[in-house]
Structure 1
Amino acid sequence: MRAAAISGMPEYDPKDLYAYDRPNELSPVVRDFPSLIYVPNSESNTVTVIDPKTYKVIHTVPVGEQPQHVVPSWDLKTLWVNNDVGNSLTPINPATGQFGAPVAVHDPYNLYFTPDGKSAVVMAEQDKEIVFRDPHTMAVQQTLKVPCEGVNHADFSPDGSYFIASCEFSGTLLKVDTTKHTLLGVINLKTGSMPQDVKIAPDGSTWYVADMATNGLWTLTGDDFKLTGFIPTGLGAHGLYVSRDSQYMYVTNRGEGTISVFDFATNSVKTKWKIPGKASPDMGGVSSDGKVLWISGRYDSEVYAISTDDGHLIARIPVGSGPHGLCVYPQPGRYSLGHTGVFR
């Protein structure tokens, strides 16, 4: 184990950043929480709740305008619905399933948490800002203006000292100091790029950025912040999810209805799973036991439950319009870095 660079962040395994995400290794904080799937329907202004045991909808709850993602808090005790156009965050108590009163937050397209748990990090896409806030009250701590359009997804370095974020509408990557809240670097990708989800390899050596327009993964190093290559995966590469054994990463190819299974050891796509019929796989997460990949169907008002053994479709569940940042909860891990569930 290795000590983190910032005070308050738990120590980590430099050989495997996801060492605490093993099947069913739930934190005592969440061990008794009911296992549920939370689906924000961006065009319906609702969250649909699914029982993963029966693959049935339990209920659908109205929230603020254009909910984009359902995000676990750093301390694992709260889920936050990002009501982007509604300028609010709706809290959910995952122990009871109760939806609380919305908290006013401007332009919360996406939400992360610093590895020390001291700040919530709001990706204010339209405002062109990354806003650091109190992780409980959401009061503003500091605002960082960014030199790009559509800042949306991110991941953190192994030691927590910085994070790398993508800017969808300007084809840009940013490197930001976690504690100083300052910009450390900018990479401009090729013209027409639309970078989406960001994920670091288990050993921390490589960063992967899904690009919806160039149809694959950009690779880069974090410390010196340099591009190292590009790996084709499929049309509309979008979401990135690490398997419970840290061997693979599931890449959703939204434009062609497939999931690419990326092998970290070979740095290549091992296989590709096709979802039957018309499909638009977007965002989601892996079940606690690692056996099911849950993904929203962004343009088809449905959710897909996919077997991680062989990629076959287990269930196709109708939900609201524009399902987006689906959250599987609870999941293994000691703390949450945000998004739909980035745990360490």
Structure 2
Amino acid sequence: MTPTTTSLTARTAALLGGVLLSLLAGCGSGGAGDDTTEARGTRTAAAPARTEQAAVAALEGMPPVLDPRDIYAANRPGMLSPTVRGYPSRVYVPNTNSNTVTVIDPETYRVITTIPVGVQPQHVVPSWDLKTLWVNNNRGHTLTPIDPATGVAGKPVEVHDPYNLYFTPNGKYAIVMASLDRELVFLDPHTMERKKATPVPCYGVNHADFSPDGRYFVVSCEFSAQLLKVDTEKMEVIGRQKLPLEGAMPQDVKLSPDGRTFYIADMMAHGVWVLDGERFTEPALMPTGKGAHGLYVNRDSSEMFISNRGEGSISVFDFEQNRLTKKWWLPDGGSPDMGGVSSDGKVLWLSGRYHSEVYAIDTRTGEQLARIPVGSGPHGLAVYPQPGRYSLGHTGVFR
């Protein structure tokens, strides 16, 4: 399922040339203090400058954006919704090979309990209304609800091939990323009753993020090196493109604070694709490190953390400077994968996919604060609760 070799096509070589090849090589061997190579790579794939968004009619029913210059303006420390203020702070870790969810107290770094769930849990996903955590049991074909107020799991709901789960910005639908079924399945967000299944022209739909107005979303297809653009209201694919690197394997998708640029991590291109979502033109590659996988914006919308799963590092991208500024290496190695930022913004939590552990990392210094043993194959962990008015899904994309 995972490509073992990558090669540039003739078109890609013409596009990126020898500069990109040298950058890719440089990122793989950089040390903890080596930021120069990465900064050059970012300038090669420059994103649009941060400017104020023009007024656009939003998706009907979507809560208005608080600040058109920053779609994450509702995600500041302490800005918890009244819905979640009474919830205990926890880290929920789905262990894909153990069929369990490990629950961690982030204050003590201790495991509180382990919850049995379905077969191959991939992600723990906060619901749009913030009241439920849904465990995506991919091969068990179920979603297990967890009450974040009590930590108690409820009765599983049958949903086929739920690799990942998102919610439309107006809360009207849940969207299952049915990776092997090659579908986007739109469901009732509470009962998970199927409303519409949209076939997709690619393999391995897995991650997504929405435009500032909520009218479309960009989807990554990891097994066919493609990106899709989907009309939210019509629930139809309106754009498709092949990534310009043979063997590419796109993963997490994240929108820039100014709403103009989509970033797509790629674990085989060892970097992040920089995409103009409106024009949906061919993206450029920003090398970060081996096995780039997860993307997480900090609490003041100034930086984005990029987990490089294949080399045990985290790259830090500065939105204002439009470049990579830091690279942190986990002591004793590791496989940093998916996760989220703590409510106060001080800690980045990431699962260690191949090491049966979870990492707590200081977001200011990159220091490893804790390394916690969990089950086998930890994947899309959720830090909960977090600031924000509603959830778009995945491990916690809040606006």
**TM-score, normalised with respect to structure 2:** 0.85
Show the counterpart of 1:263: 318
Q: State how far apart, in whole Å, the 2-side matches of 1:180 and 1:229 are.
A: 29
Of 311, 324, 330, 1:275 maps to 330
The reply on whether 1:43 has 2:97 as its aligned counterpart is: yes
Of 61, 68, 86, 1:8 maps to 61
Show the counterpart of 1:320: 375
> After the TM superposition, which segments of 4 or more aligned residues of structure 1 sit over 4 Å from their partners?
1-4
Q: How does 1:200-211 map to 2 (within 5 A)?
A: 200-211=255-266
Task: Kindly indicate whether the alpha-carbon contact (under 8 Å) linking 1:4 and 1:11 is maintained by their aligned counterparts in 2.
Answer: no
Show the counterpart of 1:194: 249
Show the counterpart of 2:128: 74
The reply on whether 1:250 has 2:302 as its aligned counterpart is: no
Of 273, 286, 291, 1:218 maps to 273
Q: State how far apart, in whole Å, the 2-side matches of 1:76 and 1:163 are.
A: 21
Q: Secondary structure at the match of 2:282?
A: strand
Of 231, 235, 257, 2:286 maps to 231
Q: Secondary structure at the match of 2:220?
A: strand
Aligned-pair CA distance for 1:282: 0.2
The reply on whether 1:294 has 2:349 as its aligned counterpart is: yes
The one-letter code matched in structure 2 to 1:156 is F
Q: State how far apart, in whole Å, the 1-side matches of 2:339 and 2:263 are.
A: 17
Aligned-pair CA distance for 1:4: 5.0
Of Structure 1 and Structure 2, which has the larger fraction of its residues in strand? 1
Q: State how far apart, in whole Å, the 1-side matches of 2:205 and 2:372 are.
A: 30
Q: State how far apart, in whole Å, the 2-side matches of 1:300 and 1:214 are.
A: 22
Aligned-pair CA distance for 1:144: 0.5
Aligned-pair CA distance for 1:294: 0.3
Q: Secondary structure at the match of 1:6?
A: coil
Q: State how far apart, in whole Å, the 2-side matches of 1:107 and 1:257 are.
A: 29
Show the counterpart of 1:108: 162
Q: 1:206-239: CA deviations, max 9, x gaps?
A: 1100000010011111111113421110000000
Task: Kindly indicate whether the alpha-carbon contact (under 8 Å) linking 1:327 and 1:340 is maintained by their aligned counterparts in 2.
Answer: yes
Q: Secondary structure at the match of 2:75?
A: coil
Aligned-pair CA distance for 1:268: 1.2
Q: State how far apart, in whole Å, the 2-side matches of 1:217 and 1:266 are.
A: 16
Q: Secondary structure at the match of 1:20?
A: helix
Q: Secondary structure at the match of 1:11?
A: coil
Show the counterpart of 1:146: 200
Q: State how far apart, in whole Å, the 2-side matches of 1:110 and 1:339 are.
A: 6
Aligned-pair CA distance for 1:278: 2.5
Show the counterpart of 1:33: 87
Q: State how far apart, in whole Å, the 2-side matches of 1:93 and 1:4 are.
A: 35
The reply on whether 1:131 has 2:185 as its aligned counterpart is: yes
Name whichever of 296-305 and 269-278 sits farther off.
269-278
Q: State how far apart, in whole Å, the 2-side matches of 1:299 and 1:112 are.
A: 25
**TM-score, normalised with respect to structure 1:** 0.99
Show the counterpart of 2:17: none
Q: Secondary structure at the match of 1:226?
A: coil
Aligned-pair CA distance for 1:3: 7.0
Q: State how far apart, in whole Å, the 1-side matches of 2:200 and 2:233 are.
A: 16
The one-letter code matched in structure 2 to 1:326 is L
Identity score, percent: 67
The one-letter code matched in structure 2 to 1:239 is G
The reply on whether 1:172 has 2:226 as its aligned counterpart is: yes
The one-letter code matched in structure 2 to 1:282 is D
Task: Kindly indicate whether the alpha-carbon contact (under 8 Å) linking 1:4 and 1:160 is maintained by their aligned counterparts in 2.
Answer: no
Aligned-pair CA distance for 1:265: 1.2
Q: State how far apart, in whole Å, the 1-side matches of 2:56 and 2:240 are.
A: 28
Q: State how far apart, in whole Å, the 2-side matches of 1:175 and 1:160 are.
A: 12
Q: State how far apart, in whole Å, the 2-side matches of 1:248 and 1:148 are.
A: 31
Query: Compared with structure 1, are the counterparts of its residues 237 and 170 closer, same or farther at alpha carbon in structure 2 (3 Å cutoff)?
Result: same
Q: 1:126-147: CA deviations, max 9, x gaps?
A: 1000000000011111111001
Q: Secondary structure at the match of 1:164?
A: strand
Q: State how far apart, in whole Å, the 2-side matches of 1:97 and 1:4 are.
A: 39
Task: Kindly indicate whether the alpha-carbon contact (under 8 Å) linking 1:231 and 1:268 is maintained by their aligned counterparts in 2.
Answer: no
Q: State how far apart, in whole Å, the 1-side matches of 2:155 and 2:119 are.
A: 14
